[in-house]
Chain A
Amino acid sequence: MGPGVRRAALILLPWLAIVALWYGVHHSGLISPALVPAPHAVAARFAELATGRLPLDILMSTRRVVTGVALGIALAVPAGFVLGWYRQVRTFVDPLVNFFRALPPIALIPLVIVYFGVDELAKTVILFYAAFFAGVIVMYEGISQISPIYLRVARTLGASDSEIFLKVVVPMTVPHMLTALRVALGVAWATLVASELIAAQRGLGALIQDAASFFQLDIIYVGIISIGFIALAMDLALRRLSRRLLAWQERMA
């Protein structure tokens, strides 16, 4: 058995175990089989939806997540710089950030609907909120941990303030930016589905909600599994990017 085969087997094994467990529960009689659709039934439904509404739902959800996270992180990075850099600013902004971060974005959905309606704007606003507060914390804690020795060294070599920022602070914060992005993506997916459950015609959350109204459990499973795999794919892509950008780091993500 070659190392490639072995690796593939190790990766597949837990998934096969889950499917096996799923079949086990389905046939065990502990729960009515009507409440736990069989894996092959869900797979069949998946294939059917794949030629139907599923691609558009996936596209809509992914687009919302990407837009919200892109906007949130685009603002979280500069905000994180300011907060991490100027300790004085942090002393009075810190409680504010923690207050807003502690509010689950889902709890704000009703208010967002009141102020921004039920269209794309509302979802973008809620995802922006979720991504921003998840990202800003990671950013500013990362920046405030930069060892001052690098700044001192740069200064003794003749670096100006702007050179220190561009050539020392920015490269040192790339790892934190990537972490912020990963954290924000996770939070954004959780928030997205909740907001789509409440108000959306399209998207994976809407798919699940529609199926729930008709008690189509297999479709609910299709929706849930799709969300999981998309989030997993995004995380893998980010990790690959990290590995390329952070080849210098001692510990790899």
Chain B
Amino acid sequence: MTTGRVRIAFEGVSVAFGPPDRRLRVVDDVSYAIHDGEFVSVIGPSGCGKTTMLNMVAGFMQPTAGRVLLDGKPVTGPGPDRGVIFQEYGVFPWLTVRQNIEFGLKLRANRRPAAERAEIARRYMRLMGLEDFADAWPRTLSGGMRQRLALARAYAVRPQFLLMDEPFGALDAQTRSAMQNLLLEVLRTEGKTVMLITHSVEEALYLSSRIVVMTARPTRIREIVEVPFGYPRAEALHEQPEFGRLRSHLRDLVMQEYAAQARQRFAVTD
């Protein structure tokens, strides 16, 4: 489907925590490549190690074995080329909406003159529907607005990658679906290579070009599903028979892995 060059690569990546005698293996020999402009969702049972995979790309942690490559170079730490969106938003409560968006643009790594900063902030406030809240404190915003602010702040420093860890998991169903459409729209105007961690099969199908299904811990790749729908996408996609077919297939896979996880737990406590 995609012919672009490889941007993110997992090469035989394994992760384990803890001392040798009580070693907890989280990721087990995963190899996978994300190409330029792809939207890849990673799904699997909760606690399986999906977030660990994202954290390695973000630069928050290193693999125990294997390599995580970004444009061919091993990831050494976090950087403004990779925008990260967390479920808990991480909006700075002591800064107003505008100041949050400008935060990255005042750092040495990507400093811009004041006029340009203001222009960028205006642009993303408009795009995210926050222009009436420029001087509001985050505590006065709803969950959906906080996540839009987090997106605006991440976009402001012009990252090439968007790494999202359950970004809409804390939102109600309506807000969640509005956020999905907004994300698709923003991505259409400024393409990025996206890695999304989610446990919603529906969300993965609606947003991504490819879905990686992970197994229970220690996690491996269970199956890679190509999503055959083009962009732009609209809500009506949910009603298509092919969408429904893929949804049941993916749900089956995830449920099987949940069952495997439950068996493991039982075996351990027995």
Instruction: Kindly state the separation between the CA atoms of A152 and B89 in the bound complex, as whole angstroms.
Output: 11
Say whether, besides A149-B90, A150-B92, A152-B78, A158 and B84 are in contact (CB < 8 Å). no
Q: Is B139 an interface residue (CB 8 A)?
A: yes
Say whether, besides A158-B157, A247-B137, A153 and B90 are in contact (CB < 8 Å). yes
Interface residues of B in 163-195 (CB under 8 A from A): none
Is A157 touching B80 in the complex (CB atoms < 8 A)? yes
Q: Is B258 an interface residue (CB 8 A)?
A: no
Say whether, besides A150-B92, A248-B137, A249-B93, A158 and B86 are in contact (CB < 8 Å). no
* Chain A neighbourhood of B77, CB < 8 A: 155
Q: Is B131 an interface residue (CB 8 A)?
A: no
Cβ 8 A contact of B107, one of A149, A159, A248, A250: A159
Is A159 touching B139 in the complex (CB atoms < 8 A)? no
Q: Is A167 an interface residue (CB 8 A)?
A: yes
Interface residues of A in 150-172 (CB under 8 A from B): 150, 152-160, 163, 167-168, 171-172
Interface residues of A in 205-253 (CB under 8 A from B): 247-250
Is B139 touching A157 in the complex (CB atoms < 8 A)? no
Is A149 touching B88 in the complex (CB atoms < 8 A)? yes
Say whether, besides A168-B92, A248-B137, A158 and B109 are in contact (CB < 8 Å). yes
* Chain A neighbourhood of B93, CB < 8 A: 248-250
Instruction: Kindly state the separation between the CA atoms of A156 and B90 in the bound complex, as whole angstroms.
Output: 11
Is A156 touching B58 in the complex (CB atoms < 8 A)? yes
Is B107 touching A158 in the complex (CB atoms < 8 A)? yes
* Chain A neighbourhood of B146, CB < 8 A: none
Q: Is B103 an interface residue (CB 8 A)?
A: yes
How many A residues, CB 8 Å from partner?
22
Say whether, besides A157-B153, A248-B137, A172 and B94 are in contact (CB < 8 Å). yes
Q: Is B98 an interface residue (CB 8 A)?
A: no
Instruction: Kindly state the separation between the CA atoms of A250 and B77 in the bound complex, as whole angstroms.
Output: 33
Cβ of A193 to closest chain B Cβ, rounded Å: 37
How many B residues, CB 8 Å from partner?
31
Q: Is B245 an interface residue (CB 8 A)?
A: no
Q: Is B108 an interface residue (CB 8 A)?
A: yes
* Chain B neighbourhood of A249, CB < 8 A: 93, 139
Q: Is B220 an interface residue (CB 8 A)?
A: no
* Chain A neighbourhood of B107, CB < 8 A: 157-160, 163, 167
Is B108 touching A160 in the complex (CB atoms < 8 A)? yes
Cβ of B146 to closest chain A Cβ, rounded Å: 12
Is B92 touching A158 in the complex (CB atoms < 8 A)? no
Is A153 touching B84 in the complex (CB atoms < 8 A)? yes
Is A157 touching B90 in the complex (CB atoms < 8 A)? no
Is B103 touching A150 in the complex (CB atoms < 8 A)? no
Cβ 8 A contact of A156, one of B78, B92, B95, B108: B78
Is B86 touching A153 in the complex (CB atoms < 8 A)? yes
* Chain B neighbourhood of A147, CB < 8 A: 88
* Chain A neighbourhood of B45, CB < 8 A: none
* Chain A neighbourhood of B84, CB < 8 A: 152-153, 156
Closest residue on chain B to residue A160 by CB atoms: B108
Cβ 8 A contact of A248, one of B59, B106, B110, B139: B139
Interface residues of B in 78-131 (CB under 8 A from A): 78-80, 82-84, 86, 88, 90, 92-95, 103-104, 106-110
Closest residue on chain A to residue B89 by CB atoms: A149
Cβ of B199 to closest chain A Cβ, rounded Å: 20
Instruction: Kindly state the separation between the CA atoms of A214 and B64 in the bound complex, as whole angstroms.
Output: 79
Is B78 touching A167 in the complex (CB atoms < 8 A)? no
Q: Which of A150, A154, A155, A157 has the most CB of B within 10 A?
A: A157
* Chain A neighbourhood of B94, CB < 8 A: 171-172, 174, 248
Say whether, besides A149-B90, A168-B92, A156 and B82 are in contact (CB < 8 Å). yes
Closest residue on chain A to residue B81 by CB atoms: A158
Closest residue on chain B to residue A171 by CB atoms: B94
* Chain A neighbourhood of B17, CB < 8 A: none
Instruction: Kindly state the separation between the CA atoms of A163 and B109 in the bound complex, as whole angstroms.
Output: 10
Instruction: Kindly state the separation between the CA atoms of A219 and B176 in the bound complex, as whole angstroms.
Output: 69
In the assembled complex, 20 residue pairs joining A and B whose CB atoms fall closer than 8 Å, in A order, are A147-B88, A149-B86, A149-B90, A152-B84, A154-B103, A155-B77, A156-B58, A156-B79, A157-B103, A157-B104, A157-B157, A158-B79, A158-B110, A160-B108, A171-B94, A174-B94, A247-B137, A248-B138, A248-B139, A249-B139
Q: Which residues of B contact A (CB under 8 A)?
A: 58-60, 77-80, 82-84, 86, 88, 90, 92-95, 103-104, 106-110, 137-139, 150, 153-154, 157
Q: Which residues of A contact B (CB under 8 A)?
A: 147, 149-150, 152-160, 163, 167-168, 171-172, 174, 247-250
Instruction: Given contacts A152-B58, A160-B109, list 17 more A-B pairs with CB under 8 A.
Output: A149-B90, A152-B60, A153-B84, A153-B150, A156-B154, A157-B107, A157-B109, A157-B110, A160-B107, A160-B108, A167-B103, A167-B106, A248-B93, A248-B94, A248-B95, A249-B93, A250-B139
